[in-house]
Structure 1
């Protein structure tokens, strides 16, 4: 958004009135100020809270309770027969098929290239077991220096499982001097430096700490041109960015579903395997067996084609149904429309922050270029200030996500956040910063 746009609350309300996907908000429960603060004495307790934390846990779709209640009723009234005889045409034996088509559309894949299963880290292990095949010449794994800890631990353990030294086999990409993010050209230079000894590149679609969105297509193409297998952790990208995993020739990817995909805490995850890679040897379980002969149980594996052949066990029905409730909402819109609103919301947030805080006690880590970020802006506060500011925000019904020691992550999510939410957040942030600065001035005077 241009800096000269109107910045008043009435203008934010006008932007909302012109939002073509404004109706999506009504598909979600928005916690009230009293509910989110657990304080019934707060001013305007019944007013919606300001929830800008979809990058950590998405809000609950209103359809979730209904669909889960339906499955509980099937279980109560049909018992084991729900696996094959389901009154709502959702037999549990193929429950994953209720979500794979929409999920594939969200990540830009063919339906056969997507499986819904397990958890993010488990799926990364399953995929790396198939794709990380270190040899004498090529044995290194390249990740970013500040990878999400679970990814870092998973990669280290995979290296160790091959009796290799982490110190020798793990390459971490650190930001260049005077930069908080990883420019694409710099990433490519590190790949080039280690190309002859690298087996696998594993990067995030969106960096969880800075909010930087990586150029998946360009990085993938370059690494693959050098014979490197390329995988992506899309935990912060699925449901956030427009993705084209098939067209970009990504080898594999994995993601969770409880952030922008709103499937609930610990929700079932997903994975992608490009059709050109789907016949690789992999860990298997009986859900990898083709559906039509799975229950013959003769111990003669007939692997399902595509990503489904990477499944191990039957997916949790309740978890899958929770995901279905959110994907039903996604199915009413396009990722192009959601992304357009996201770019506008995040740009509006940036513009307001720059306007309302001329003497900012924070810097914005996230790139200003909309193509290099998703829905999140990461605000790095002066040392020791973030916790105090965030506590004031929380006490006033504002939910963001902190990353200690100094970063506050703010994520206006296009499905349920509004321009007025963004305006109100910046207003609350201004008040919180003023409270903290005033408190510190008093403390200094008392010393």
Structure 2
């Protein structure tokens, strides 16, 4: 496709977009009665219009049934999570039995590491990407300390080569192989929050397994954004938040994945709770934890009905859109157009003010572009917000923009380029 930097081209692309009507299913933030161009779904997704009704139906159940809502009504709370499991599974390439909505992301990361980080002898190290999101760094650091190890010895980080912004898959694999006999766990983020790099999850998983390690993934920036195949890739475990690309609201409920190959492993440690006990005997209140089959056996506390209702609202839109494949196709074209528009801004400025550090190859990125602003980045970002373009700022000099296929348009991207050019000229002149 020959891309064009004009409004007519953008409108033509939007008119041909089979997913264009989904934009009308979301609420956009406004200032002075003018909607923002919202390019921050990689941080917090927009509210689906149906969310209020779905949440309201559960509030009605609470009002009408009170405690009996656990067993009465059209959606008894006791089994509500099972409706979500069917919709979550296609998003991460899993069987419904392998996923479960529960808790929040870092809580789940800790719970899964209880089971899957089991250091023994000289095999006690965890390998991760350097510059991972702080929550992952803190969680991993505290886990190795809990087992009595020094984080400086127990944590191996892989950084880009000097002068480069992104990690090379061959360097990650080489680091895994170099330290193979000492690695207990390979734990990466599926997509790096800062650069937007989508790691080769299948290759890294295979490399981890080849040296006898467990492999897990934090899919905070990948789930609902890019097609992953957790089951087929033989990933051991994963977890994700649902409030970014999956639009479940601030602090929305998390999800976990545990591969079915681990379901029969009675040697796995886990922090147990009542809700993870086998369902058909749960109310007998007996001693001695016996886990429910599948990922449900990692639950601890009872179903979080209201957060799950908000997640359910968005998952139904994913189902209507055909889950990930149609969204991924649009995401690639939207993000390619954003890349083109950023380069057009540089051309119009007459110099490279903006450098995209997210990989150029679409197989190595999702919906996000991370853009270094070489001069006055924060002032320019603030200028974008003042002109109703809402992205995300990351110190020291990166603007993150993320066009979401469910609700962003080509016209959004075109207008963002025009505003960025105008703001840049104003700030730098």
Greater shift in the superposed pair: 425-434 or 117-126: 425-434
1:29 to 14, 27, 40: 27
Partners in 1 of 2:390 and 2:345 — Cα distance? 20
Partners in 2 of 1:229 and 1:316 — Cα distance? 29
Partners in 2 of 1:69 and 1:428 — Cα distance? 39
After TM superposition, give the deviation of residue 344 of structure 1 in Å. Answer: 0.3
Aligned residue number for residue 63 of structure 2: 76
2:110 to 125, 137, 144: 125
1:62 to 41, 49, 57: 49
Partners in 1 of 2:204 and 2:321 — Cα distance? 29
Aligned residue number for residue 444 of structure 1: none
- Tell me the SS of whatever aligns to 2:180: helix
Partners in 2 of 1:131 and 1:356 — Cα distance? 47
Partners in 2 of 1:288 and 1:316 — Cα distance? 14
Aligned residue number for residue 188 of structure 1: 173
Aligned residue number for residue 303 of structure 2: 315
- Tell me the SS of whatever aligns to 2:186: strand
After TM superposition, the structure 1 = structure 2 runs for residues 339-378 of structure 1, keeping only pairs within 5 Å, are 339-358=328-347, 359-378=351-370
After TM superposition, give the deviation of residue 226 of structure 1 in Å. Answer: 1.1
Partners in 2 of 1:98 and 1:320 — Cα distance? 10
Aligned residue number for residue 124 of structure 2: 139
Which runs of 5 or more structure 1 residues have no equivalent in the other structure?
A: 35-39, 439-447
After TM superposition, give the deviation of residue 194 of structure 1 in Å. Answer: 1.0
After TM superposition, give the deviation of residue 141 of structure 1 in Å. Answer: 0.4
Q: Deviations over 1:206-256 (max 9, x none)?
A: 100000000101111111111111000000000000110000000000100
2:204 corresponds to 1:219: yes
Aligned residue number for residue 93 of structure 2: 108
Structure 1 outlier segments of 4+, above 4 Å: none
Partners in 1 of 2:280 and 2:75 — Cα distance? 17
After TM superposition, give the deviation of residue 137 of structure 1 in Å. Answer: 1.7
Q: Deviations over 1:16-74 (max 9, x none)?
A: 00011111111111223x2xxxxx2xxxx34x320000000000001110011111121
1:156 to 123, 141, 153: 141
- Tell me the SS of whatever aligns to 1:143: strand
1:303 to 277, 291, 310: 291
Aligned residue number for residue 242 of structure 2: 257
Aligned residue number for residue 442 of structure 1: none
Greater shift in the superposed pair: 296-305 or 254-263: 296-305
Greater shift in the superposed pair: 244-253 or 75-84: 75-84
After TM superposition, the structure 1 = structure 2 runs for residues 84-99 of structure 1, keeping only pairs within 5 Å, are 84-86=71-73, 89-99=74-84
- Tell me the SS of whatever aligns to 2:215: strand
Aligned residue number for residue 425 of structure 1: 416
- Tell me the SS of whatever aligns to 1:254: strand
Partners in 1 of 2:27 and 2:378 — Cα distance? 27
RMSD: 1.1
2:276 corresponds to 1:291: no
Question: 2:58–2:306: 8 Å Cα contact kept in structure 1?
Answer: yes
2:2 corresponds to 1:8: no
Partners in 1 of 2:290 and 2:115 — Cα distance? 18
Partners in 2 of 1:58 and 1:65 — Cα distance? 15
Partners in 1 of 2:163 and 2:29 — Cα distance? 40
2:426 corresponds to 1:435: yes
Question: 2:272–2:289: 8 Å Cα contact kept in structure 1?
Answer: no
Greater shift in the superposed pair: 241-250 or 17-26: 17-26
Which runs of 5 or more structure 2 residues have no equivalent in the other structure?
A: none
Partners in 2 of 1:105 and 1:152 — Cα distance? 29
1:266 to 251, 260, 264: 251
Question: 2:128–2:156: 8 Å Cα contact kept in structure 1?
Answer: yes
Greater shift in the superposed pair: 76-85 or 336-345: 76-85
TM-score w.r.t. the length of structure 2 is: 0.97
